[in-house]
Amino acid sequence: MLRLSIILIATLWAGFLIWGTPSETTPQSGQNLSDHAPRAARVSIYSEPTILSVDRPTPTTARAAPPPVLAVQIATEPTTPEKIVPMEELPLFTVTGSRVNLRTGPSTQTDIVMSLSLGSVTAALGPEKNGWIEIRDLNTGLSGYMSAQFLELL
């Protein structure tokens, strides 16, 4: 620590020695400072304010924005609510693979929602189509598609 302090002091001293040379405008000792001082111009401390112009603002009336119009979209075909199946009526499946992906669609090309491990209990949301079943994981509530070869009916 002492060594670093000595190095710092020596570096600062060398920097001041090199870059700290007096300039031509700095008076040397023994010279009169008034010889180097610039002559001050006469400036009044107080000056009378000058009014450039007095313009009275003209009152303007602005129109208010028209009230917003609500757009109504007419349904082209009546929507009927899907039949809600109670949880007791949904067939339950268990996952037979060690780690099987739950996907957003019935294909391996679709995005993965999550992975389910061996023994996870799921509920079928629809019938098997082309080897895929739409299921809901009972632990997380997430739904997606899983290949039927990795599911076994409970």
pLDDT in tens, 40-54: 556 666 667 777 766
CA dihedral 53, 58, 63, 65 (to 10 degrees): 20
Q: Which residue has the tokens 């009152």?
A: 59
Average pLDDT of the chain is 79
Confidence band for 109, pLDDT divided at 50, 70 and 90: very high
pTM: 0.44
Q: Which residue ranges form the domains of the chain, and what is each CATH number?
A: 87-153 (2.30.30.40)
Whether pLDDT at 130 is above 80: yes
